[in-house]
Amino acid sequence: MIADVRTFTIVPRRMNEYVGLFETHGLPVTQRHGLTLAGYFISQIGALNQVVHIWTYDSLADFEAKRGARDADPAWGAYLAKTAGMVTAQEDKVMRPASFSPIR
């Protein structure tokens, strides 16, 4: 199992709009292509205007196949168009669990 930990910094005062668009338009596309959302978080203390979402995959091959299918879906392109200009920075980390991690 691997985890894709994605951090997006959102334009100030656009967080509610961004999260709403993801829930309504982005999430259904990811679910249709079998991506598994482990968690979706909004910063409250520290660096503000950030969302962190964690996706789990069986392997890097699973990650590439599912993301490729999602990226090719016209509905994903439509979602990206709706959120254009709302993200100021993005970080994407693919991680593996430690031997003692409760999520494996």
Q: Is the pLDDT of residue 58 over 90?
A: yes
The pLDDT confidence band at residue 103, using thresholds 50, 70 and 90, is confident
At 3, list the tokens.
């985890």
pTM comes to: 0.92
At 72, list the tokens.
């090719």
DSSP string, the chain: -EEEEEEEEEPTT-HHHHHHHIIIIIHHHHHHTT-EEEEEEE--SSS-SEEEEEEEESSHHHHHHHHHHHHH-HHHHHHHHHTTT-EEEEEEEEE---TT-S--
CA dist 93 → 23, 96, 97, 103 (Å): 22, 10, 13, 16
Share of the chain above pLDDT 90, in %: 98
Q: Is the pLDDT of residue 87 over 90?
A: yes
Q: What is the pLDDT of residue 90?
A: 97
The pLDDT confidence band at residue 104, using thresholds 50, 70 and 90, is confident
Q: What is the pLDDT of residue 36?
A: 97
The mean pLDDT value for 73-77 works out to 98
Backbone angles phi, psi at 85, to 5 degrees: 85, 0
Chain CA centroid to CA 41, Å = 10
